[in-house]
Amino acid sequence: MPTTDRVTASQLGLRWTEFWNGAMELGPNLLSPDFRIRFASPTRELTDALRGPVEVAAFIEEFRAARPGLRFTMDGDAAGEVDDAGSGTFALRWRSRQPGQADHSGIDMFEATAGRLTRVWSVGGASTFAVD
């Protein structure tokens, strides 16, 4: 009987978080060749032009270098689903922590195709979400 490794929205979200935490080797298998990210922030002029895993990884490495000790975590499970083919849309809440800085929260909305992220829209805040 053949087995399939079905990817879930939460697994993709976790890989995305690990990628942002410095696991750059995940990029080629996580992001589609035409991947795009859109930030709702003043950096959007720089980031809207990014395409694919290589450019996004370079941006993340530079971003992390300017923020020593920065760590991202998922704040709960992803909301939404990907189908058996690894395609769909989902969102996740995240938190970031950097030593000596206030924690931040945000929401990322993802589009996935065939188990790879194709688009992400990201909104971050200057504080954290309240805990229920």
All domains of the chain, ordered by start, with CATH?
A: 9-124 (3.10.450.50)
Give the whole-angstrom CA distance, residue 115 versus residue 66.
Answer: 31
pTM here is: 0.90
User: Does the pLDDT at position 130 exceed 80?
Assistant: no
Q: What is the pLDDT of residues 77-123, one digit of tens each?
A: 999 999 999 999 999 999 999 999 988 999 999 999 999 999 999 99
What torsion do the CA atoms of 68, 124, 6, 15 make, to the nearest 10 degrees?
Answer: 0
User: Does the pLDDT at position 18 exceed 70?
Assistant: yes
- Find, among 95, 123, 128, the residue nearest to 107 by Cα: 123
Give the CA distances from residue 111 to residues 69, 79, 120, 127, in Å, rounded to whole numbers and listed in that order: 29, 12, 6, 26
Strands 104-113 and 116-124: antiparallel
**What is the average per-residue pLDDT within 16-36?**
97
Asked whether the beta carbons of 96 and 107 are under 8 A apart, the reply is no
